[in-house]
Structure formats: structure tokens, C-alpha cells
Structure 1
Amino acid sequence: MQNGLSLSVAESGYLASEKFDDDGRIKRTGTWKSATAHIITAVIGSGVLSLAWCFAQLGWIAGSITLALFSVITMFNSILLTDCYRSPDPVTGKRNYTYMDAVKSNLGALQYKLCGIAQYGVLAGITIGYTTTTAISMAAIKRSNCFHQNGHKAGCHVKNNMFMVIFAIIQIVLSQVPNFHKLSPISVVAAIMSFSYSLIGIGLSIAKISGEGMGKTSMTGIPVEPNFSGMEKMWRTFSALGDVAFAYSFCFVLIEIQDTLKSSPPENKQMKKATIAGISASTVFYMLCGVLGYAAFGNDAPGNFLTGFGFYDPFWLVDIGNICIVIHLLGAYQVLAQPLFGFVETCSKRKWPQNKLVTEDFILCGYSINMFRLAWRTSYVIVTTIIAMIFPFFNDFVGLLGACTFWPLSVYFPIEMYISQAKIRKYSFTWIWMQILSLACLIVSLVAAIGSTRGLITSVESFQPFQSES
């Protein structure tokens, strides 16, 4: 009898270990492949659309070097960050479920609060940017059909607000996905879409070059002329740096992505593999889109190269490209919003543990619904949509987000956490060159922020809120 009882207990423990991870949560099933899909979904977003414009501001030499440098720096810091998922040991230590948890474990409470302000402020900003970008792409579909029917000289102007509302309604539904772990199918579809519209943009660029020849380009970008001053070129160059920084922004969701991985092989090894694969693939597409887009349009490259005037033929291919952008950003919005959703909901449950509206779910038509989650996430989508309607400025807004994101979240915190966890001695050679890298990136972020802020101020002066038009 005693032996039977012992066997029963042992079997029970075995089943528990099969269903749950070492932290008591349901066993994670993610692999480096699913993590790569998440990374590509987060990285290849609206930033790719502005790269041709960035090359027009920077020129062939500076544009290519800038893309390569941002790629290397982002990959390096992301690899450092993968070792901070567990603390103090990167393989056997306690799990950090979020980026902020990793900062708190390694750098303390003050840095944790500063990180929260930076991370969630940027995540909110990016979701606003995605709302604007999606509306522009939806409007581009309608415009391309109008041009096809009425000729390229037709006005075919479209109000963007209606499309922002449509996007918001879809996001309200998608936002009810309870957590990041349920997003893998959405991320896979979104990653496929990002590759698709990048390939379409590349194909259209090649077709335009073949049919019309290369646009007017130069080694240093748009030349200084009487109607384009040196000061204006400087501001645009700064803004372009912000756009490139934004194109590589994803570190602030890396820990959340890593938290979806199964524990064997070790999460940091899988995540390093996913990071290298995801950023390398993204860089190849970025370089192709930037180089070929600039070659096709020259110094007249538009802010969003898939909605440029020269791409209204073949109209059906333009439509497919913009549909891919819309589908991709529907998923990318959720990948970036889920950490913010989860943070607010976790804090609310801690503060009001007895409130059933906050803590309990109920079943409606077979679906689990939480009233607080429904109200909070719906309100968030509505507020971000209204802000997007007020400030629908693609390039400058993207540049400002990139500038605000890049240094604190992609450089400073990863480097400082790694130094703390690896116990790198202060003023050692490694410590010094890491601090030099951080300082250099801070300077780049500051000048990018200045340029983008100046561009936003200029745009706001001549714009009426809620009157965005494509």
C-alpha cells in the first residue's frame, strides 16, 4: 500500500513537471524559430518604408554606413541583453519576465522606474505611429485604384481618419488576446507579410529603374541649393538618423519574447540564435529597400516609398504591397502593445486583489472575458487613435520615436545590465569601451531627437488636427 502511494505521488510530480516550468507557470513551448518570427515582426515595421527617404538625405556613403552600424550595434546589445533574462546566472538564475524586471534585478529600483517611463512611453508612441502608417497604406490602396481609373493627373485625395477608425476597431478585437504567449500565430503571419511587402517594394524599385532609369542620386544625398539650405539639410540628416534608429528598435520587447522560449536548450542560447537570424534578415531587406528605393526615386524619394507617385502602376501590385503592410502592422501593434497591457493589468491585480472585475474572467460564447482587460485595452486603442489623428506626421514622428528609443532601451540599459551581471570591473578595458559606445550612441540619439522635433514643430504649424489627407 505504501509503495502504491509513493508511486502515485511520484507520477503526480512527474505530470506536474511535464505541464509546468521551473517557476510554476505553464510550460513554455517557443523555439528560436518562433522567436525569430517575433523579432522580424517587431523590427521590420513602418521603419522600412522610410529608408529610401533616409538615403536621399544621407547619400550613398553615409546611408550605407549608417544602416550597417545600427545593425551591428543593435545585434551586439541584443546579445548582451539575452544573458539578462535570468539573474544572477544567465542559465540557472531566476527568470525576469519583462524588460523592466531584468532592469530591476540587475540595476535596482530607481533604474527600474526610469526604464518603465522610457519603455512604456516608447511602446505607446510606436503604436500611435503604426496607426498612422496603417491608415496611409489603406488610403494608398484607394488612391492607386483611383489613379488607375482616372489617370495619374487626377486628385484622388483621401481622408485618413476613416481608415484609422477601421484599424482601431480591429485592434480592439485583437487586443483581447490575453497575453504575449498567445501571439505566435499572429507573429508568423505578420513576419510573412513584412517579407512580402519588402519584396514587393524591392521588385517595384527594380522595375522602375529598368523602365525609367535611375533617379538623380549623389554620394552625399540631396545637394545644398538656393531652395534647399545647408541648415535644412542638417535638420533632415538628423531626422534620417532617427528614422534608421527606429527601424532597428525592438530591444524593449526582447525579454518578453525570450520568456516564450522552452527552457531546453537554455533560453539565452536560443535567443542569441534568433537575434542573429532576425536582425541579419532584417538588415538584408533594409539595405535592399534603402538602396533600390533611392536608386529608383533618387533625391526625390518619398517618405513612404510604397505610396510614392511612381508606384501607381501596376496598381494591383501596389495594392497587394499595402495590404501586406496593413496585415503586418495589425500584428506588430499587438507584439508591442502586449507588454504595456500586461504591466498595467499586473499592477491593477496587485492593488485590487479582491476586486472581481479586475481579477476574475467570465465565459461569453465560449471565450474568456475579463471586464477590466476589456475596458482598459479598448480605452488605450481609442486614445492612441485620437492622438494619431492629431499628429499624423510619418517621417518626423518615426524619427523622434527612434531617437527616444535607441539610446536608453537599445544601448544604455543592456550595457549596464550586462556589466552588472557579468561583474565587469569599473575602469577596466571592457568597461571603458562599452561606456564609449554608450556615449557615442547617446550623442546620435540627441541630434536625431533635435532634428525630428524641429520637423514636427514645422509640420504642426501648418496642419489642422483631424484633417490628415493622403
Structure 2
Amino acid sequence: MGDKTANQNQVSIDLDRQGRSNSSYDDGPLKPTGTAVWAASAHIITALIGSGVLSLGWATAQLGWIFGPIVMLFFSLVTCYTFTLFAYAVCRHSGKPATWERNYTYMDIFQSELDGIRFEISRVVYYTSLFGVASGYTTESSASLNAIQWSKWFHSGGDNGGEYHMNRNLCVVIFGVIQIFFAQIYEFGKLRWVTVMVTAVTSLTYSMIGLGLSVAKVAVTGKFMGSPTGISIGTVTETQKIWRVFHAIGVIAYAYSYYIILIEVHDTIKSPSLEAKTMKKASVISVGLTTLIYMLCGCFGYAAFGDLLPENLLTGLGFDQPFWLLEIAKVAIVIHLIGAYQIYCQPLFTFIEKEASNRFPSNMLITKEIQILIPGFRRYKLNLSRLVWRTIFVTITSVISMLLPFFNNGVGLLGALGFWPFTVYFPVEMYIREKKIQKWSTNWICLQILSFACFIISIAAGMGSIAGFVLDLQTFKPFKFAT
């Protein structure tokens, strides 16, 4: 009996260790590899530039030539400033550098800096955001797969007759099966740098292709389309115009959400004494360069198509030529989202599995690892609870994608949900506590004004995205072929 208990405890310990190594951004200490500002900047840039960049042209079309660039500049300044504040909370200073306590997960930071109720709220919002990102990535990847399928049909002569039925649900199932497979790689955390590099290359690939094709179209037509105030009344109603403006703000907010990778960036910096200074410089450089790319993509996309610009530059309206370049961009989107899905889900996977092992330490279905010999590879450790729960998770995100296949609305809602709490509120509150800023002092008042203003912006952006969902649901039929 004693040996059996010891074995069970050892299995539980192994599972806990596995959970720490399994997380992409929610794990224990790793050996830092970066030595300078450029390393941190590179990681932030690769985190910022994602599939949301393809919707920035649509967001610019709603806001117009005047307010589109202004809103992007506003979010870049707020993001850059608040994350320099957040840098001080990631590494808590106490005495000599050798005694500094380092926070390795967002939950560590929230628990050390926030009181009970605010910590619980932050945890719920954080993991809800991760779940939402997973559903959104499923929707976007299925749209890209479907666009590839449509392109093949069109260029094979499908336009000469007949009608194409877009089987997007099949694309969702394909993406879901791929994610179920990758989700079972229990040592996925050890592959994260390979995944980050792949997602970085693919995201830059489709972003540059979208920008290049937009510039080419402007060069061919010889004119910039669009208007100073965005899409005109008449094309949409006054009410729709208001909701679309709010929605566009949420889309831009989502594009600047890189809070999930910030802890990982800190883990790449070797010297703790230089972390805050390095992160401050890295934020300025990376956000500045990213804003330049965002403005180019958003403005040239709007200039190329004006009010007709679709919600997604590459999978919506698209381009006829060059066909092969568009296919490369769409494939890059799918590859990027396959890796990004796992990167964003690993912290949530780890959290659930740790909670389960802590609550039921003697349950063999949760703690036991079954060794499976795979010829030519290392032994695979199969855990039944991991197999079942991760499969259920991917299935749920896939079903939600089928029921709500509105990526742009989801992007706006996720941007609204994550911008204020993670980009503004928590960094501000942590900075106030860490620096012991007196209540009602000038600094305190200015920080609270910034936080409240961004809270109002997030509320408005969320309302605009929800309104978009409501309008789309009026004509959408779930689980039906779309023509």
C-alpha cells in the first residue's frame, strides 16, 4: 500500500512538472537567451503582428482617413506606455538583485499584486480571453481553407457555370482534427520557440503580401479611394455607422493585444537588473515599427478598395492575380493559426490540468501516464484525462466557430475584452502599488483618468462588436452551406 501511494505521488509530481514545461506562456523559469533590446523587440513584434492585421483596412474604412490613423496612433501610445509600467511588476525588487523575486506567470503577478476579488476577476477574464482567441482562430483558419477551396474551383473554370457551395464546416472539422493531434503533444512547451518562429515568418508573409497587393492595385488605378470620415451614410444607415465605428475601435485594440507574450519576453532577458529598462526600450521600438506596418496595411487596403473593402483583406474580396501569391498568403494564414492556437491554449491547458491534479491527486485517470512505444521515436506518455479534456476543448471551440463564424466581430469583442483590463487597468494598478503612488496625487489622478477613458473605449468597442453579431445572426443559418 505504501509503495502504491508513493507511486501515485510520484505520478502527480511528474504531471505537475509536465504542466510547467507544457505551457507556452504560463510556465516556470526558463534559461534566458536574449542579451539586448533587439531580442525583446523581435519577440514583441512577432506577437503583435497576427491575423488581426488583415482586418485593419476594414477598420480604417469605418473610421476614415482622419480618424483611422489617429486611433491607431492612440492605441500604440497607450500600449507602449502601459507596458513600460507593467515591466516593473513582472520583476519584484527586494534588496539585492540576487534576492529579487521573479514572476513567471500572469497568475503569479495577479496574485502578488491584486487582492482577492480582483485576482479572481483577472483570472476569469484572462482564461476567457484565451478561449475566445482559440474560437476566433478556428473561424479564421476555416475561412482561409475555404478561400483556398473556392480559388481552386474558380480558376478551374467554375465561373463558366454552376454554383459553388462553400463547405466551411468541413474546413472547421479539418482544422479541429489537426488541433486535437497537436494538443496531445505533452511536451509542446519544449517546441514553443520553433512554433513562435514559424508563426512569426508566416504572419509577416501574409501581412507583406496583403500590403504589396494593395500597393500594386493603387499603382494600377492611380488613385486613392476612401473619404476623410470613412464609409458614407447611404451605404450604411446612421445607426450602422455608429456601431461600425465602435466595432472598428475594437478591431484595432485587438491588433495591439500582446499581453499574453509579455512574460515570455521577460524570460528571454538575461540580466534581471536590466529588465525594466530593456522592456521600456523594446516596447518603444517594437510598437513603433508595428504601428508603421499597421498603418501601411490599413491605409493602403482602404486606398485600394475604399468602402468596398471586406472584413478580411485576403479571404474576403481578394485579388484575381497573381493567383499563386494569394494561395501562398492563405496557406501562410492557416499555418500561422495552427501554431498560434496551441501557443495561446497552452496556459489554459496547464491551468485546468494542474487544478485537476491538485483536487484529485489519487485519481489514476488524472495522474497516471501510460507509456506507449512508438518505433523510431521516444516513448509517448498518454494521459487519459488530458486526451479527453483537450479533445473536448477543441471540439467546443470548433462548434462555436460553426455557430458564430464571424471572425471580425469576434476580433472586435476580444479586443474590447482584453484591452482595458490587461493593457491598461492591471498595469496601472500594479505600477501604483509597486511605486507606492499616493492616492489623489497628480500622478495617481492622471493614471486613473487614463484607465477610465480606456474603460469607456472598451465598453463602446464591445457594444459595437455585439451589435455586429446581432446583425449577422439575423441572416445567418448555422450548419448550412453558404453560397
Q: 1:126 aligns with which of 109, 130, 133?
A: 133
TM-score, normalising length: structure 2: 0.86
Structure 2's unaligned 5+ residue stretches are 1-26
Aligned CA distance change for structure 1 residues 75 and 167 (closer, same or farther; 3 Å): same
SS in 1 for 2:440: coil
CA root-mean-square deviation: 2.4
Return the alpha-carbon distance in structure 1 between the equivalents of residues 31 and 279 of structure 2: 14
Please show how residues 325-340 of structure 1 align to structure 2 within 5 Å: 325-340=333-348
AA matched with 1:219: P
Aligned-residue offset at 1:151:
6.7
AA matched with 1:369: K
AA matched with 1:218: S
Aligned to 1:465: 478
Check the 8 A contact 2:32/2:267 in 1, yes or no.
Answer: no
**Residues 100-129 of structure 1: CA deviation (Å, up to 9, x unaligned):** 220110112221100011111111001101
Aligned CA distance change for structure 1 residues 231 and 464 (closer, same or farther; 3 Å): same
| 155-164 or 291-300: bigger deviation | 155-164
**Residues 86-111 of structure 1: CA deviation (Å, up to 9, x unaligned):** 23559653222221220110112221
**Residues 351-389 of structure 1: CA deviation (Å, up to 9, x unaligned):** 223334433544432144251333322221111111111
Return the alpha-carbon distance in structure 1 between the equivalents of residues 69 and 263 of structure 2: 29
Check the 8 A contact 2:371/2:381 in 1, yes or no.
Answer: yes
Structure 1's unaligned 5+ residue stretches are 1-23
Aligned to 2:52: 47
Aligned-residue offset at 1:212:
2.7
Aligned CA distance change for structure 1 residues 446 and 459 (closer, same or farther; 3 Å): same
SS in 2 for 1:341: helix
Aligned to 1:210: 219
Return the alpha-carbon distance in structure 2 between the equivalents of residues 61 and 458 of structure 1: 27
Q: 2:72 aligns with which of 67, 76, 82?
A: 67
Check the 8 A contact 1:34/1:188 in 2, yes or no.
Answer: no
Aligned CA distance change for structure 1 residues 25 and 193 (closer, same or farther; 3 Å): closer
Aligned CA distance change for structure 1 residues 42 and 127 (closer, same or farther; 3 Å): farther
SS in 2 for 1:392: coil
Return the alpha-carbon distance in structure 2 between the equivalents of residues 232 and 153 of structure 1: 36
Aligned-residue offset at 1:307:
2.0
Return the alpha-carbon distance in structure 1 between the equivalents of residues 279 and 188 of structure 2: 20
1:442 and 2:447 aligned: no
AA matched with 2:230: G
Aligned-residue offset at 1:179:
5.6
Aligned to 1:57: 62
Check the 8 A contact 2:424/2:451 in 1, yes or no.
Answer: yes
Aligned CA distance change for structure 1 residues 55 and 292 (closer, same or farther; 3 Å): same
1:313 and 2:321 aligned: yes
Return the alpha-carbon distance in structure 1 between the equivalents of residues 61 and 149 of structure 2: 27
Please show how residues 378-397 of structure 1 align to structure 2 within 5 Å: 378-397=391-410
Return the alpha-carbon distance in structure 2 between the equivalents of residues 223 and 362 of structure 1: 62
Return the alpha-carbon distance in structure 2 between the equivalents of residues 374 and 36 of structure 1: 36
TM-score, normalising length: structure 1: 0.88
Aligned CA distance change for structure 1 residues 429 and 95 (closer, same or farther; 3 Å): same
1:192 and 2:220 aligned: no
Aligned CA distance change for structure 1 residues 71 and 468 (closer, same or farther; 3 Å): farther
1:78 and 2:83 aligned: yes
Check the 8 A contact 1:99/1:256 in 2, yes or no.
Answer: no
Return the alpha-carbon distance in structure 1 between the equivalents of residues 150 and 101 of structure 2: 53
Aligned to 1:20: none
Aligned to 2:417: 404
Aligned to 1:280: 288
SS in 1 for 2:89: coil
AA matched with 1:347: E
Percentage of pairs with the same residue: 43
| 227-236 or 195-204: bigger deviation | 227-236
Please show how residues 94-109 of structure 1 align to structure 2 within 5 Å: 94-109=101-116
Alignment length (residue pairs): 446
Aligned to 1:11: none
Aligned to 2:21: none
**Residues 148-179 of structure 1: CA deviation (Å, up to 9, x unaligned):** 23276765442211111111122122222536
SS in 1 for 2:156: helix
| 233-242 or 167-176: bigger deviation | 167-176
Return the alpha-carbon distance in structure 2 between the equivalents of residues 260 and 345 of structure 1: 26
Aligned CA distance change for structure 1 residues 80 and 170 (closer, same or farther; 3 Å): same
| 182-191 or 270-279: bigger deviation | 270-279
Aligned-residue offset at 1:293:
0.4
Return the alpha-carbon distance in structure 2 between the equivalents of residues 348 and 441 of structure 1: 36
Aligned CA distance change for structure 1 residues 326 and 214 (closer, same or farther; 3 Å): farther
Check the 8 A contact 1:50/1:304 in 2, yes or no.
Answer: yes
